[in-house]
Amino acid sequence: MSRNPTLNSGAIDFESVFKQLNDELSKIEQSLKLICAGGYVMQLHGYKTTSDVDAFYKSNMEIDAVIRKVGDEFGINKPDEIWLNGSISRMNPEPPGKYFKLVYSFTNLEVHAVEINYVVGMKLVSSREQDFIDIGDILRHDNNEQPFTLLSELADMGFNVDISNLLDGFERAHGMNWLDEFYANNQEELRKYF
């Protein structure tokens, strides 16, 4: 019988899942450091819920088995994918330490979360329709109206972002009138990119 890790909001209570993962790691005398990104970070910030965790981490067969076991116990593994996914490291650079912070610290498990702007960078790399919707939500919620500053920060994080895609996210956040005004007020600076 699986545990129910769902909160009243419908979101998965990943703190409980992480505590169980820590307990299982201690049984096999392994330690793990997760740098979480993607939907889990958006859930932490209250943007949306997610059913899995994308994270940078160093794995081995024992750790993979424990991750699968915990997911089975909570009923959160999918038939073709376990709840903790490390595939983001194939498409995205691991963020520098200044761009993530500690969320949970247990005896055998540290859980860190990237800054929300790192998630914006990841979503710009993926560039799916849902990613642009999420980017718009993040930029609108954070009242971010500084494309050049964000572009520079994303470059520091290791992302090579097309400014056109970034401006698409800003247009979704603030509207076409805002974008028209931005283009009108920043023609000289924009010439560097086009």
Angle at which helix 116-126 crosses helix 163-174, to 10 degrees, equals 120
For residue 159, CA distances in Å to 19, 118, 194 come to 32, 9, 18
Contact 156, 96 (CB under 8 A): yes
**38: confidence class by pLDDT, cuts 50, 70, 90:** confident
Calpha distance 83→57 (Å, rounded): 14
pLDDT, tens digit (0-9, with 9 covering 90-100), for 122-153: 999 988 999 999 999 999 998 889 999 999 99
Contact 145, 181 (CB under 8 A): no
- Whether the pLDDT of residue 155 is over 80: the answer is yes
**31: confidence class by pLDDT, cuts 50, 70, 90:** very high
Angle at which helix 116-126 crosses helix 147-157, to 10 degrees, equals 90
DSSP 53: E
The mean predicted confidence, pLDDT, of the chain is 92
**pLDDT confidence of residue 145:** 92
Calpha distance 150→172 (Å, rounded): 16
Two tokens, residue 17: 């899942």
pLDDT, tens digit (0-9, with 9 covering 90-100), for 180-193: 999 999 999 999 98
pTM > 0.95: yes or no? no
C-alpha angle 90-132-157 in degrees, rounded to nearest 5: 45
- Whether the pLDDT of residue 29 is over 90: the answer is yes
C-alpha torsion angle, residues 16, 19, 23, 29 (rounded to 10): 140
The side-by-side arrangement of strands in the sheet containing 32-37 is 84-85, 53-56, 32-37, 109-114, 100-105
- Whether the pLDDT of residue 61 is over 90: the answer is yes
**pLDDT confidence of residue 99:** 94
**1: confidence class by pLDDT, cuts 50, 70, 90:** very low
Q: Decide which of 38 and 103 is more confident.
A: 103
Contact 113, 95 (CB under 8 A): no
C-alpha angle 72-77-81 in degrees, rounded to nearest 5: 135
